Amino acid sequence: MDYIIGHDHIKNQIVNSINSGRFSHAYLICGEDGIGKSLIAKGIACLLLGKEPNKEYADIIECKISKNKKSIGVEEIRNIIEETNTKPYEGDKKVIIIYNAELMTMQAQNAFLKTLEEPPRGVFIIMLCEEAENILDTVKSRCQVYKLNHLSNDEMRQFLINKYPHLSEEELNIISVISDCIPGRGEKYIGNSNLKEIRDNVLCILNSLANKDLDILSYEEILTKYKSIWKETLTWFLSYERDIMIYKETGKNSLIINLDKLDDIKNLAEVFSFTQLNDIMEIIKDTRDKLESNVNTSLVFDAMLLKMQEV
């Protein structure tokens, strides 16, 4: 699985267990959306089946939640169990990959226990989830559990260079920041003009704060419009804050991440005091906590802008 960037320790463990014949029949792979869970799962499946990677095979079964459903229920699990009892099409092994396993209801998880503990010979089950908190201990105890962490900055840069060789050094730095070294987030930024637009709007908000002419209503509407990417929005705020504080303290261009916005960062470093910057950072962190608690997005952004205006 050398073609997969990062997660070397976990990859080595998996390859060694497959080569030595000690590979478990059930795995639970956890990590944030875009971290590489499906890549690892498909890599495992191809190794087990002795197939080339990055192709579709009849004996790699991918189970995904239906678009019109919010959970994986007993009926879906029964269909998966039925699939495990169907003989492989091409060889003597079959791999079942279950996406969003954290969305399985407790009843569904309990219905799956027997199959997880002793699936049919040659059947391997790999469950993927963002958080293991909603997975029952009885399920986890029947699986080999792996937690995928963010890539290192060097690994993230290598991923971007391999997939997008046209990117400039400046773009590599920017995308590494906004993605928080999560490959899937980097891909979203490159392919989503909304992310680039919200980045510019975040800087406009900071400039308006500095000029004391912030139009709260207009910017609240813009932030709410892109509420589905609020994490990226707040990451941009923190990224600019970080650059402003570093430039204010050191005056060095080489330490700035958002180099394409250098003139703005220099101006903002002259206007804002360290106290003001720290206050804004605390407001952003408080906003993140509220949004993670599913508080009304419009109200939260409105309150954030009002607090920033008072700094």
Q: Does the pLDDT of residue 245 top 80, yes or no? A: yes
Question: Residue range 131-135: average pLDDT?
Answer: 89
Q: What percent of the chain has pLDDT over 90?
A: 74
Least confident among 59-73, 90-104, 183-197, 275-289: 183-197
Of 114, 132, 147, the last residue of a domain is 147
User: Above 90 in pLDDT, residue 228?
Assistant: no
The region that residue 291 occupies, defined by phi over 0 for left and psi between -120 and 50 for alpha, beta otherwise, is: alpha
Does residue 50 lie within any of the structural domains? yes
The pLDDT tens digits of the residues spanning 34-50 come to: 999 999 999 999 999 99
**Does residue 172 fall inside a structural domain?**
no
**Residue 189: predicted pLDDT:** 83
Q: In terms of pLDDT, which residue wins out, 67 or 13? A: 13
Six-digit token string for 21 = 């014949």
Looking at the fold, whether 12 and 133 belong to one and the same domain comes out as: yes
Q: List the CATH number of the domain containing 100.
A: 3.40.50.300
Does the pLDDT value for residue 99 go beyond 90?
yes
Domain count, the chain: 2
In a domain, residue 162? The reply is no
Is residue 275's pLDDT more than 80?
A: yes
Indicate whether 138 and 206 sit together in one domain: no
**Mean pLDDT on 118-125:** 94
What does pLDDT average to over the chain?
A: 92
- Residue 204 domain boundaries: 192-310
| Domain boundary pick from 128, 147, 166 | 147
Cα separation, 284 vs 54, whole angstroms: 40
285: domain CATH number? 1.20.272.10
**CA 50 to each of CA 8, 91, 145: distance values in angstroms, whole numbers, following the listed order:** 20, 10, 23
pLDDT score at 88:
94
Residue 273 lies in a domain: yes
- Mark whether 208 and 278 lie in a shared domain: yes
Has residue 178 got a pLDDT over 80?
no
Both 12 and 143 in one domain: the answer is yes
Pick from 208, 219, 218, 214: nearest CA to 271: 208
Do 211 and 291 have their domain in common?
yes
Listed residues 90, 118, 147: the one ending a domain: 147
Is the pLDDT confidence value at 292 over 80?
yes
For residue 164, being part of any structural domain is answered with: no
Residues 142 and 206 in one domain: no
The answer, yes or no, to whether residue 222 has pLDDT greater than 80, is yes
* Ranges 142-151, 189-198, 273-282, 289-298: which has the least confidence: 189-198
In whole angstroms, how far apart are CA 107 and each of 79, 103, 113, 127? 14, 11, 10, 17
d(CA 127, CA 112): 12
Q: Report yes or no on 220 lying in a domain.
A: yes
> Confidence band (pLDDT; 50, 70, 90) for 175?
confident
- Domain check: are 220 and 306 in the same one? yes
CB count within 10 Å of CB 133 equals: 8
Residue 74 sits in the same domain as residue 17 = yes
My answer on whether 74 and 128 are in the same domain is: yes
Is the same domain home to 128 and 242? no
Query: Is the separation of the CB atoms in 109 and 140 below 8 Å?
Result: no
Does residue 134 sit in the same domain as residue 16? yes
pLDDT at site 210: 94
Angle at 120 between CA 118 and CA 121, to 5 degrees: 105
Instruction: State residue 279's pLDDT score.
Output: 95
Q: What is the pLDDT of residue 21?
A: 87
pLDDT confidence of residue 229? 85
> Confidence band (pLDDT; 50, 70, 90) for 201?
very high
In the chain, % of residues over pLDDT 70: 100
183 occurs within a structural domain: no
| pLDDT tens sequence across 144-166 | 999 999 999 899 999 999 999 99
In a domain, 51, yes or no: yes
Are 102 and 229 members of one domain?
no
